[in-house]
Structure formats: C-alpha cells, structure tokens
Structure 1
Amino acid sequence: MDPEKIAAGPLGEGDLWLGGRWRAAADGRRFAVLDPATGRTVREVSAAGAADARAAMDAAAEAAPGWAATPARRRSEILHRTYELMTAHLEPLARLITLENGKALRDARAEVSYAAEFFRWFAEEAVRIDAGFGEAPNGGFRHLVQHRPVGITAHVTPWNFPAAMATRKIAPALAAGCPALLKPAPDTPLTALAVAELLAEAGLPDGVLQVLPTDRAAEVVGAWFEDERMRKFSFTGSTATGRLLLRQAAERVVNVTMELGGNAPFVVCADADLDAAVRGAMDAKMRGGGQVCIAANRFYVHASVAEEFTARFGAAMAEVVAGPGLAEGVTLGPLVNPAAVAKVRELVDDALTRGARIAAQGAVPEGGQGEPGEQGCFHPATVLVDVPDDARMLHEEVFGPVAPVSVFTDEDELVARANATPYGLAAYVFSRDLAHAVRLAERLEVGMVGVNRGLLSDPAAPFGGVKQSGLGREGGREGIGAFLETTYMAVDWP
C-alpha cells in the first residue's frame, strides 16, 4: 500500500465501496480532495448521492442476516486480522492521512496505531458478549437475557482523525454483528477507503461494510434516516450539526450515539509539577495541531505559578516547527482548510480586542497563511495571556494551535468558571497531590479527565461527554454495548 499510488489510482479509481466492490456514483458526480499544505488536488473521488445511499442500505440488508449469524469467534478473527494489516501498513497509512488531512507525520503515525487498536480491542470484546440466566425471585420460571445485534448501523465521521474516528465506530458495530454504512468527511475520504480495502483483505464478507464519500452529506444521510432498516446512527462532529441529526433521529426513534463539541479546561494547580504540566499542555493542545475535540481549550493556572508556567509553555510553543506534514522535522502541520484558519484568526482577534496579549508565538512557512492558491493553511502556535472571561475563545472551540491562559486563586471560583459552558467532554488537572487532583476532577462537569497527563484516549476506555458534548460512549466495554439490543425471555421451568 503506497499513499501516492492510492492518491493516483487504486481504490477503484476513487469510487465508492459498496456491496464488496468499487462503484462509481450513480450519477457520475465527483469531487476533489485537497492537500491542506499546498492547496493542490490529491485526487478526485466519487460523490455518493441518495441513490447510492439506498443501494448501500440494500447491500447491507442483504448481508445482515449472514453477518449476525456468523460465530463471534469468526468475527473476532476478521477484526484481529485487520488490526495486523493496519499495523503492517502503518507508514503508508500515516502518509495517506497526512496527504489529505495535513497533520504532522508523527501525529499521523500515532493515529494509525491508535486506530488499529480499536480492531484489536473489539476483536476481543466480540467473544465476550454476555448473556444472563437465573431464577425469578418469586420462583416458578427462569429469566433468560440475550444481547443481539441492533441491526444496520450508519456512521458519519469528521476529518480530524480520518482513520481513528472510522475504526472507533465500525469496529464495535462489526464485532456486535451489525453491518455498517460509513460516510467519511469530504476533506478526508481516502483513509476510510483504504481501511475498507484492508477489511476486505482480512475476510469481511461483501456488503457488511459500505463506504460512501460525498460532498452532499444531507442527501446521503437523509436517505438513510428515511429508511426503516437503519436501526443505529453514530455521529462525531459539531454540536450544531448534532442537534439537527437528533431531530431527524427523533422522527423514527433511531438509537443514536453522538460525540459532539468540547471546551476542555486545563487546570494547573499551585503544587503542580510544572515540567509535567508543560509536557501535558503540549500533548493536550498540540496533538493534531489543536484540531481535536478533547484539545485543551482554556488554560486556568494558579496565580502563584502562572508566570513560570506561561514562560515554559510559551517557549515550548515557540519552538514548534510548522510546515507540510510530510516534511522532515515538522511538528505542526496546516489546518484542514482556509475556513479553519479564518475561524482561528477571528477568535484570536476577538481576544486581542478585549485586552488579551500574545505571550509567545511560533513561525509558519512564508506565504502559508491560508490564502487562496498554494500557500497552505497554516496558523502559528500561539499563547495568549490576560484573556478575559468574555472572550469568545473561552466559550467556543478554538480548533487550532492557540492556547488562552487565565489565572485563578480561588478553587471554588475556578470550578465555577470551568463548568460555565454547555459542553462537558474532557478536562485536565495537574497537581502533585493526587487525592486533591482527583477531588478537583470529580467537581468538573465532564465525561473524561486527564489527571497529570495530557493524553487520555484509549480504545479500552469509554470515550464521551456530558451536557451538549454528546450522548453515549465509544470504546471500552460500553462501545460494543451501543450496538446490541437486549432480549428477555420468561421461561417456564417445571
């Protein structure tokens, strides 16, 4: 598997993966996938429409009974073989991610390893779907409880983790015995198509997985919601889009998992190990160039260590090497498109007009400011201080390499500020006193907390948030449960 060759020719000439083979869109429509580092076209791919969405549902419906009846051990073997294939092809997959997403190659490599782990974890969970049997408390009969595949599942994934967001969704669905329909983001469809190719090589039966790239998402997803055969819908993306999809799901009472926006606070207590806090801050802020839903969005630093932490953190941010993700030594790639650069600039300008100051800033390639043409979509790594609470970037996802730092003295006030958001996905707490850190973490209204570490995602742990950050969990034991229905039988027992 070679990323440049994938970009140039294989994958059915950039077609849809439907019914176990490559197919062009029914109406022949295509769209371009761009390299964010240069603005150049990586390749064109077929753009699915409503007719393709219905054909994908038909293929899934045909494959569903056989896949549900496939022994769990066989499903497990296919998923584990896919894990092995992804691991064997780590480098070309990473380069493909960088070509279409832009992230630095080191981040892309880490993503492939992380993405592959979902296949390994759910290969193990596939054979551990439990059942229950016991006597009714009043006697006279028995309870028999089974967990069965929910049915045909549909998934919509974002561009920021084109491999991991796909595998985090389809691996548990396939492990549970459910066919999967996947619509990857139009910015990054090539990685999802490559994963489909590896699943087929691993032995996944035709029709169990369909991958439909498109630049007309509403048409494809709308066709799925109109079809009674779709029994589960999983989405990762913005809260605004999630609200719209929830309305559609409500019309047919479709089972949903929603992983939506975040506004993660990063808390540095007075007794924090500042070396660990700076390392954690770089991990939590700069992975994927800050284009991560669990990225640290608001930095709250105790007044007694604020000056020293900001100086160390600023020095680390200023040393970040920005450039095309495939270039040697680059640690910060471009943002995904010019609109992303414009949004980050807008938030920075808003903070500056409200009194914030730039404490540290890295460099970007000359001309790489996200303007039209081939300059690329870069924004410098930036640390802001004196950021007031009414600055927009403290209430909206920055989704870029910008870190706003605020100071606190009173912990109760800190908790109130940290929780003053409709989002509740992730948070980070740094303190040498572990008991204190855990007590503070328990007061934060979030689904996940990194305690003295800036990386918290793990396929074996439940990923998800509270409030408007989503519904349900992905990963962990909970991940496969989202694709199972419970059946209870009352059995006479002479």
Structure 2
Amino acid sequence: MIRPTLGSLATPATAKAGQRAAVTRADELALLTSLPTGLFIGGEWRAASDGGTFDVCDPSTGDVLVQVADATPQDGLAALEAASAAQKGWAKTAPRVRAEILRAAFEAVTARADDFALLMTLEMGKPLAEARGEVTYGAEFLRWFSEETARISGRFAVAPDGRSRLMVTRRAVGPCLFITPWNFPLAMATRKIAPAIAAGCTMVLKPAALTPLSALLFAQVLQECGQPAGVLNVVQTTSAGEVTGPLITDPRLRKLSFTGSTPVGVNLLKSAADQVLRVSMELGGNAPLIVFEDADLDAAVDGAMVAKLRNGGEACTAANRLLVHESIAGEFTQRLVERMRAHTVGRGTEPTTLLGPLVDEATRAKVHELVTDAQSEGATLALGGAYIDGPGYFYEATVLTDVPASARIMREEVFGPVAPIITFRTESEAIALANDTEFGLVGYVFTLDLNRALRLSEELEVGMLGVNTGIVSNPAAPFGGVKQSGLGREGGFEGIEEYLETRYVGIADPFAAAN
C-alpha cells in the first residue's frame, strides 16, 4: 500500500472564498504566552509544591507548546482543603448570585471563542471549525445551568394520615472531584462544573495531562467573572492516581465525577465505595449505527460522517460499528468511501483541514492495531488503513468491510477515523448485533419507518438514541449510558440532580395543640 505523506493530503493554507484565514504563528504565541500555567488553588495561581512541570505538546507536530505546573499529592490535598473551606459559604450563596456568575461565564467564553478554539486545536489537534463548535456546546452548559440555578425546589405536603407535615428540601452534595478527558477539553469541564456551581458545590478539577490548557483558561475566566476563591480548584498532573487517590479516600470529599475509559472507571468506583461517595461515570462506548433498507441514503451517509468523524473519531459517542442492510450495503459503502477519501487531512489550524491528528502516538498505535487485527480476521480494507508520514500523529480515514464478529474492533472502542461496516438481513438481527456489547452509551438508527424507530428506541440497550441524525449531544438533554457505559446523567434537567441531596423534615401536626 502507498503511504501518502501529510503534504499530499493537506490542502495548502491559502484561504478559499468564504473561509477564515489561517492562524499565524504569531497568533499562537500570543495566546500561549498569555495563559496561566500554574495550579489554581484557593483562588491563587501557584507552582507545584516541588516545583515540577510537564510539557504540553502539539499532536500535529510533536512540538512543545508550553510547560505547566505538575501537581503533587500534597497539592491535591491543598486543593481539597480549599474546596472544603469554601463549601459552607458557597452553598449558602444566593441562587441568583451563582446564576449570574454562570451567565457571566457564558458571555465571557462566547466572547473569547476564538481563543478557546485555537487553544483546543493546539493542544488536542481537532480542526478549528470543530473546536469552535465545542466552544458553543461547552458554553451552553453555563447558560443552561445558570437558568436552572434558581429552579432548585422541594415540596411541602400534608401526610396521608393528616397527623403531620412533610417538608422536602434539596441541598448541595458538597466538595466534588472532577476527572476529565482529553478529547473535549472545554465541554467535558463545563458539563460538570456548571451544574456543580448551580447546586452550590465546590470542586477540584483534574484535567487530562495531554490537554490541560483549556481548563486553565476557563478557570481564569471564572475567576474574572466573580467566582469566590476555593469554589473551583484545578490541579493538572502527570501522576493522576497519586494525586486523586488520597482525595477519593478523604472524608471531606462527597462526590466523584469521571469521564473516561471503562477500566479506569471501574477502579475509581471501587475506590469510591470505601467513602460511599456519590458518583457519576461517563465511560466507554461502542456505538452502533444502523442503516435500514428504507433509509434516506443521503441522510444516512451524512449522519455516518458526523457520527464517525466528529473529533476525528476520538469520541465516546462515535459510531464504531456501522450495521447496514445487505440490500444497500454496496451503495452505502461506495458513498461513504468517497466522502471519507475527500476529507482533507492536516494541522487543525489550516482553514481547509477536516481531519486533524490523533492525540498521541499511543492512540494512533491502538487504532492501527485494531485495523490490522480486523484484516487478519478477514475484513476487507476499502480505504485507508495506514499511518501518514511526516511529523504528528496522523492516520488515514479508514473504511473496513466484511468485518467478522471475531475481530477485536467489534468489541473494543476504536478512538480514531475508522468505520467498520457489517451487513444484516432482518431487524431482529440488527438489534442483536447492536446489543452484543458490554457498552450502552448511544446508538443511531436511520429509517423512514416511524414504528420501527419506536421499536428500536425500546429494544436497543443504550442511554441515548439518534433517529435519522448522527449527533445527539445537547446541553438541554440528559447525557449518559447504560451497562458498562456509566452511571448518572449530565446535562438537561437531570444534570443538576447529580449534585443535590434530598432532606426530609417531619413536622408535628400544627393543629394538635389547638384541638
């Protein structure tokens, strides 16, 4: 197989009509030199307790972008101390005050959308257009939960026997630990931070070591928007277990929220059990995308492109198994190959780039390992399947057909631009194939039969389902999965419930004395 170089796939940086001009090196340096690089603890930026730092690199070149403080276990405990000290006062802060901080943060992030987008592209690799989309998505959690803050309610009722009164109130869970992934550096932070602020919880955030810069900039923005000291603390580190482990076993911590792989989530759940922590787990996925014979094929291909190549396939919501009815599989495959072949590969800052690098070499190696394993098991390579020569961690957009059930890619999450296509004959066969996984985050169905869509909405073992669409994420909707894809929900009306406890007060009959 011919292995193309990056240059042969990337369009020159000259902007076409209607496109934004390419970002200059001066733009990048101006942003990077203005960033905070310390730990954010108790409202102050500080160095790590041992003075340690680590490099944050550009996955499109491998070059160092900036060095940031590398937190120690002592720094993690200092962050929890700050959060614990601020908890009581923050929980008593008027809901409207908390709401206004969130609203101000929404306005500030929106105003600085270009900065956040460029920063995400530099540290994670996604194209600028996608990064701007993430800014919009991530900021919307701030607006949504600013509107929910003042709607936290309880109830008051007469007991059924009439002899007492029942009062139910809601209160903040308490200090939280958030562990966020590298693939959506801003949105995964705001999706947790916004409802916690709304509920009156303080936080320690441990962002991914690969992409800590967006979290640091967001912490700075929140501080500028009036967030009190200690409410949000940020401790980036290359020693995740050593820093977060003591926090999870500390009795001052009351909630743990994690987004990442299922194996790591399982270990965190075991650790959290000792303190009986409230937990939210958004874990792995292996999403099926089912295309029935009556589907609008144009819409199905469009949906597959979004569901598969959004974020370069580095998303838990990515369509990892494309189940296509045998009568249309040939045409669907041909169209998908043509569309994926046309995706311009390059550095995310180039205005014509549609597919950026993978985040690091380990991720790229795992993607290639799954592709080669599928081929060894009998799958046919219809497109791609190779590294792209040159600097950075680029991988070709890839399509596999005739993928057998024995291939690892049928069961393991592939975090890359790889589309395995499997055919089916009947609806029941499609459902069985879709459910044949320990994961259950999201699924996608393309059909013009409303009754079929409703049947699948009940039969598929997923927490979310897209019908004739390749994207389901929405801040106004509950995000989360079933089976080994996690516990709890983020976003929607349900999102704030994860940060509230219920208190019941029984009150003696106020009329007893009068009688």
How far the C-alpha of 1:5 sits from its partner, in A, is 3.1
For 1:339 and 1:7, the matched residues in 2 are separated by 25
Find the aligned partners of 1:55 and 1:246 in 2 and give their Cα distance: 23
**Does residue 420 of the first structure (1) align with residue 436 of the second (2)?**
yes
Mark the CA change 1:312 to 1:336 in structure 2 (over 3 Å): closer, same or farther. Answer: same
The Cα shift of 1:433 comes to 1.5
* Structure 2 contact 479–489 (Cα < 8 Å) conserved: yes
1:484 to 500, 504, 511: 500
Query: What amino acid sits opposite 2:262 in the alignment?
Result: T
**Which SS does the other structure have where 1:300 is aligned?**
strand
Q: Verify the 8 A CA contact 1:383 1:404 in the aligned structure 2.
A: yes
Pick from 329, 353, 358 the counterpart of residue 376 of structure 2.
353
Query: Offset of 1:226 from its aligned partner?
Result: 2.4
How far residue 390 of structure 1 moved from its aligned partner, in angstroms, is 1.1
Q: How does 1:125-140 map to 2 (within 5 A)?
A: 125-140=148-163
1:312 paired residue among 308, 319, 335: 335
Q: Which amino acid aligns with 2:397?
A: A
CA distance, structure 2, for counterparts of residue 66 and residue 5 of structure 1 = 37
**2:301 aligned partner:** 278
Corresponding letter in the other structure for 1:65: K
* Paired residue type of 1:5: A
**2:371/2:385 contact within 8 Å kept:** no
Distance 1:205 1:54 in 2: 19
Tell whether the 8 Å contact from 1:315 to 1:360 is kept in structure 2 after alignment: no
Counterpart of 1:335?
358
CA distance in 2, matches of 1:36, 1:144: 54
Q: 1:466 aligns with which of 479, 482, 485?
A: 482
1:154 Cα deviation from its structure 2 partner: 0.6
Cα deviations by residue, 1:283-334 (Å, 9 ceiling, x for unpaired): 1000100000010000000011111111111110010111111012000000
* Partner Cα separation in structure 1 for residue 454 and residue 107 of structure 2: 37
Q: Compute the displacement of 1:239 (Å).
A: 0.4
- DSSP-derived class of the 1:301 partner: strand
The 5-angstrom pairing of residues 116-131 of structure 1 reads 116-131=139-154
2:280 aligns with one of 249, 257, 266: 257
Q: Residue 209 of structure 2 corresponds to which residue in structure 1?
A: 186
1:384-419 Cα offsets, whole Å, 9 max, x none, are 111111111010001100000010002112211111
Partners of 1:201 and 1:362 lie apart in 2 by 47
Q: Which runs of 5+ in 1 are unaligned?
A: 369-374
* Aligned counterpart, 1:381: 397
What are the equivalent positions in structure 2 for 1:29-428 lying under 5 Å apart?
Answer: 29-361=52-384, 367-368=389-390, 375-428=391-444
Contact 1:323-1:364 within 8 A present in 2 as well: no
The alpha-carbon distance between structure 1 residues 435 and 4, as it changes in their structure 2 partners (threshold 3 A), is farther
CA distances 1:351-384 after superposition (whole Å, capped 9, x unpaired): 111111121339976x23xxxxxx1001111111
Q: Is the 8 A contact 1:438 1:451 kept in 2?
A: no
Match of 1:448 in 2: 464
> Could you tell me how far apart the structure 1 residues matched to 2:107 and 2:387 are?
37
Shift of 1:252: 1.1
Displacement of 1:9: 4.5
- In structure 2, the gaps of 5 or more residues are 1-26
Instruction: Give CA-to-partner distance per residue, 1:26-59, whole Å, 9 cap, x none.
Output: 0111110010000000111001111101111111
1:372 aligned residue: none
Structure 1 position 8, deviation (Å): 2.6
Contact 1:265 1:299 in 2 (8 A): yes
CA offsets, 1:109-148, max 9 Å, x none?
Answer: 1000000000000001111101110000011111000000
Name the SS for the 2:151 alignment partner: coil
How far apart are the structure 1 equivalents of 2:451 and 2:94?
A: 45
State how many pairs are aligned. Answer: 484
CA contact (8 A) 1:115 1:164 kept: yes
TM normalised by structure 1 equals: 0.96
Q: In structure 1, how many angstroms separate the alpha carbons of the residues matched to 2:149 and 2:95?
A: 6
